[in-house]
Structure 1
Amino acid sequence: MKRRKFIQNVSLGTAAAGLTGMGTLNAAQSGFREADEPFNLDYAPHFGMFKQHAGEDLLDQITFMHERGFRSLEDNGMMGRTPEMQEKIGNHLAKLGMTMGVFVLNKGGNGANTLAAGKKEHVDIFLEGCRKAVEVAKRVNAKWTTVVPGDYQRNLPLDIQTANVIEALRKGAEILEPHGLTMVLEPLSDTPNLFLRYSPQTYMICKGVNSPSCKILYDIYHQQKNEGHLITLMDMCWEEIAYIQIGDNPGRKEPGTGEINYQNVFKFIYDKGFKGVCGMEHGNSMPGKEGEAAVIAAYRKADSFL
């Protein structure tokens, strides 16, 4: 029996038996939906999240995601994959009717290449990344690419840095917009050296760029750490939010492992009429098949807000 067919046959059975490794917990007892039904929101796992069930093959992993009810994929490292693999991934997603979520624009800003500095050589590197991202997006039918402007340039006034970032992003948007590709700016919590950290700050920059190809990636994990008030600030910034990412805090694992009330947050997103992708940019709280099953169960629980 071919591997992909084997996965298809056994995965439905394991879901009905309690999502493999969940012991006496099963779908009927816990009130979860059947494991092969789509979710209320469009959650996007990443490669490796379910490899204990699906194996190392990337296409098999996508198939397993689809069988578990997920309808999108995100892959931060897509630009680092070969064009041949990118095309295979894109074709397989199309075959299953799945959406390609974000991939990271490799030559966006970083600590050594900050757009806040206003230096031509830094902007040129970023624009080269935009051109390459367009080609990758064509192969996988992607609509979003993640951009981080880099670090502060601390010898410049903050407003000058902000103007430098807006000017650079406008030039990037001119490259992306004709191809329907949107850079989603992600405020992060990893280090205080990062220029982009808060959702209102990112909202202001998007308004300054004034392009449909420059929007907000609202990462719930990072913004819980940076600013809190998740629902309030999402609502304030809503018209500029094009993509959402998920992770509980502390720990950056699946919903239900930290302090965030994800049922309430997901219900807010759903009630706003969000039709985009919610990327599962987090780790698994437990190893092995048991940990993978726990991730699926966590999403079924958090998604049961209706």
Structure 2
Amino acid sequence: MRLAVTGSIATDHLMVFPGRFAEQLIEEQLERVSLSFLADRLEVRRGGVAANITFGLGLLGLHPLLIGAAGLDFAEYDDWLRTNGVDTAGVHVSETLHTARFVCTTDTDHNQIATFYAGAMAEAPRIDLAAIAARAGTPGLVLVGADEPRAMLRHTATAHRLRIPVAADPSQQLARLDRPQARQLVEGARWLFTNEYEAALLQERTGWSEHDLLDRVGTWITTRGADGVSLARRGEPRLTVPAVSTDKIADPTGAGDAFRAGFLAGQAWQWPHEQAARLGCALAATALESVGTQEYKLLASDLVTRIGQTYGHQAARAIEPRLAGAA
């Protein structure tokens, strides 16, 4: 199955604050916050949710199609993605704006405060998914990730019109969506991705309960950090998959994107949901051990070992044959 991923393409500025955000916040003053956190480390890395997800898919040998808007500084990033197995033919390159910027500070508890500058992403609504599908071939699944909201809505509507299955992943953009927009992005999705906080925010934004949402999507996948992931489907028991543990956490940024790459790869290979989620968790653990969202390396033997240690040798044997082509 050919996978297409729409969403942000960005440069990440990742900083580390050697303290706890919670200790700096005064409850009685939250309406007038004015804080500066002195970071002791800065890393400048490639990022953006769509680029991160396609990077992971590329390492797994899926040759995904990246659809998003980048800036006039994209040439080097473009070479990097292509080298790592990503088809960038669906990227719109702005003639005047720079690639988006994600500025994120992480504290010692791995809490994060971030700001995102759209830059060239403002031109994403110009992208025509139907025209890209006509040129590059119709994908078997389109993940609609965080992007300029008008682009997200346009891609969702186009995919439904073309009868391409949709994976809805609004993530960071939920805060910007009004009720009709949030509902449009979710309704009819084959897959819905959120983390725990986004799951609650999505219900608030849509005005729909968990039951209402499960009536409108195929499977709702919620990532829960160290507690793994849960998969919910209407009329079926909730499936919980434990996380693959690691004691070498370097940076939590991008772990969710790595999970999505592993899970979607499993779906492209027509694996059962639980097996695909296990690969996603193993990929997320690998990403956690590197600073930056596209700095991790994949070795089939390492992934198989991680899966075997967490889920058992039978689970590892089931996954091993397909991973032989991983980078």
Confirm or deny a common fold (TM above 0.5).
Answer: no
Question: Normalised by the shorter chain, which TM-score bucket?
Answer: 0.3 to 0.5
TM, length-normalised to structure 2? 0.35
TM, length-normalised to structure 1? 0.37
